[in-house]
Amino acid sequence: MAGADVDVGTELRLGLPGGGADAAKAEKRGFEETIDLKLKLPTAGMEEAAAGKPEPAAEKAKRPAEAADKAPAPKAQAVGWPPVRSYRRNVMTVQSVKNKKEEEPEKQQPAANAGGNSSAFVKVSMDGAPYLRKVDLKMYNTYKDLSIALQKMFSTFTATGNNMNEGKLVDPVSGADVVTTYEDKDGDWMLVGDVPWDMFVESCKRLRIMKSSEAIGLAPRTKDKCKNKS
């Protein structure tokens, strides 16, 4: 029936035009592929910049002066250029600019402790507790392990249950249920337990054990994230 063909033809796809055989591959390019295609990051240059060594003057002199061209060919970045204070750079990095309307696909500024670390210490705060603690997320393999560890840490409080989602820690003052939440890389506060453990470890920046009543409004956006990460 023609309808089916029309449906196929009008289906939104990101991929090379034409080529029915390629239709199957016409899905969003993965993050890594995009990097390969467009950015060709000169990683050596980036490392140098990070180490604080200036580019040799000769190389810079060779680089031709170009007007504002929109071609994605990147130049190795000179140290301290553009002249933006490191304080400001750091603040903007933390803000983790969510520019979805980029002209070119841009890698998110990697956090100072980008992957490959052997530990992932994050702060844990509990509402009502006089001080914060720190846990190394990489010490645990499942949410259950983490839950047990947290219970032990804030051991003055009643703890029951073994699932983060159910949040069976109890607030010391009011006796009400608490839930465990975390702040992810984008700065959003999420309910712990929705995403696969590994994804959680990678995106969790800090933990907060809060009263259930305050946890209203935490949007479960993790489902969208799961899709993108496939």
Binding residues for another protein, rule: CB under 8 A, are: 39, 41, 52-57, 60-61, 63-68, 72, 74-75, 77-89, 91-95, 97-99, 103-104, 106-107, 109, 123, 125, 131-132, 187, 189, 214, 216-217
* Nearest distance, CB of residue 189 and another protein, angstroms: 7
* Nearest distance, CB of residue 52 and another protein, angstroms: 6
Closest to 200 in 3D by CA, of 138, 119, 157 = 138
By CB atoms closer than 10 A (0-12, 13-18, 19+), residue 126 is buried
* Nearest distance, CB of residue 48 and another protein, angstroms: 11
* Nearest distance, CB of residue 85 and another protein, angstroms: 5
**CB of 12 or CB of 58, closer to another protein:** 58
**CB of 8 or CB of 92, closer to another protein:** 92
**CB of 54 or CB of 161, closer to another protein:** 54
Sorted by sequence, the CB contacts under 8 Å of residue 149 that are 6+ apart come out as 135, 139, 140
**CB of 29 or CB of 211, closer to another protein:** 211
* Nearest distance, CB of residue 220 and another protein, angstroms: 15
**CB of 15 or CB of 105, closer to another protein:** 105
